[in-house]
Amino acid sequence: MVAGEKIETREERIPLWKLKLDPTNVRFSHLPGPLSDKELEDEIWKENETRDLMKSIQAAKGLIEPPFVMEGDGYYIIKEGNRRVVALRKLKEAVDNGEIDDFPASYFDKIPCEIIPKKIDPIRMDIMLAVWHVSGKKEWDALNKASHIFKMHRDKGLTYDIIAEYIGVSKSTIKRALLAYEECQRFLKKYPNDPVGIKRFTYFDEFFKKSYLVQKATVDRSFRDKFMEWLAAGKFRTHRDVRVLPDILEDTDATKELEKGTIEDALNTLYRKYPDRGDPLWETIASAVEVLRSMPRSEVKAILEDQAKRHLFSNLVSEVDTLKAELNRIRNGRSSKLK
């Protein structure tokens, strides 16, 4: 059932040569097109997942799950399962060339497929793809999900509510994906020679996950351009660095270091001032201090009344005293050397 309509498919074995890769495949929407079937195959074969899938199909002696296709003029367009078909093409090629000898010569000539009716509404087809790849078990990456949602919303006119209802994600998630996708497209227009290109999407995805950054960009529109400027200048190592950007921007010294250098310089400045933010050991110590500072009166009294708790507290005090003595020895040793 898709968009309130039952979609009935029929299974049929189709010659492999009649299966054409989908030129509208959202995974390659960022590439200049249109791409030929061979160009699409080459792009898909570059992915490690395709090579792994080929090995899995070889080990399983065939497909576990058939691709979904739509009938064209003398051929079939693959709507779901492009990677599987490329893997099968490579297997057939290896069998034909004698590189694999554990399959009969005609083993991959025909493969089982689920045929989608030609009359299906394009919007329902988009929703079906979204159910498969946005919220289903064969998930696309964040960029491809956003690209497909963008297509459904802007090209097909589906509302946030409708998309959210059919693919099972929140409306806020859809809004964030669209914002990140649009900002990424704006960035690419502004910096067309950026070496990372469309994969910058992950940076914008992280940006719109942070309410501090979204609020800052809402109050000051120029902040979005500043963020793009930092991206283009290579100030971030990976998209994960965007997650710590709010901490940096809340500190004047760290922000100045980001402007002058990279996020690594900014973090070094921030962590020198606040070691508990960058080191798990000091984060634990800071948490322990806060726990002791806010310990309820009842727990303080329990130290006197409970032998096990008293013993644990005594160990804590003993370890702190030992550490203080060690620090004093180190300090005194340095003082004597200075003399």
Amino acid at 116: I
Amino acid at 62: G
Tokens describing residue 59: 């080990």
Q: How far apart are CA 253 and CA 242, in angstroms?
A: 18
State the burial class of residue 177 (Cβ atoms within 10 Å of its Cβ: 0-12, 13-18, 19+): buried
Q: How far apart are CA 21 and CA 79, in angstroms?
A: 8
Asked if 200 and 188 count as a contact pair (C-beta separation under 8 A), the reply is yes
pLDDT (mean) for 115-144: 58
99 SS3 class: coil
CB count within 10 Å of CB 191 equals 17
Tokens describing residue 93: 């090629």
Question: Residue 141: is its pLDDT beyond 60?
Answer: no
pLDDT interval class at 167 (50, 70, 90): low
pLDDT (mean) for 143-156: 64
Higher pLDDT, residue 9 or 294: 294
pLDDT (mean) for 28-53: 84
Question: Residue 28: is its pLDDT beyond 80?
Answer: no
pLDDT for residue 245? 96
Which stretches does DSSP call E strand in the chain? 10-15, 19-20, 68-71, 76-80, 110-116
pLDDT for residue 150? 65
Higher pLDDT, residue 164 or 91: 91
Q: How far apart are CA 184 and CA 73, in angstroms?
A: 37
Higher pLDDT, residue 134 or 36: 36
Asked if 171 and 161 count as a contact pair (C-beta separation under 8 A), the reply is yes
List pLDDT tens digits, range 247-281. Answer: 999 999 999 999 999 999 999 999 999 888 878 89
Higher pLDDT, residue 49 or 322: 322
Asked if 47 and 83 count as a contact pair (C-beta separation under 8 A), the reply is yes
Tokens describing residue 146: 């956003």
pLDDT > 70: percent of the chain: 80
Tokens describing residue 295: 């310990």
For the entire predicted model, the pTM comes to: 0.56
46 SS3 class: coil
Q: Is the peptide bond before 122 cis (omega within 30 degrees of 0)?
A: no
Residue 146: which of 204, 72, 69, 227 has the closest Cα?
A: 204
pLDDT (mean) for 48-52: 87
Residue with tokens 């310990």: 295
Tell me which of 34-38, 166-170, 327-331 is least confident.
Answer: 166-170
List pLDDT tens digits, range 273-306. Answer: 988 887 889 889 888 888 888 989 888 888 888 8
pLDDT > 90: percent of the chain: 35
Asked if 262 and 234 count as a contact pair (C-beta separation under 8 A), the reply is yes
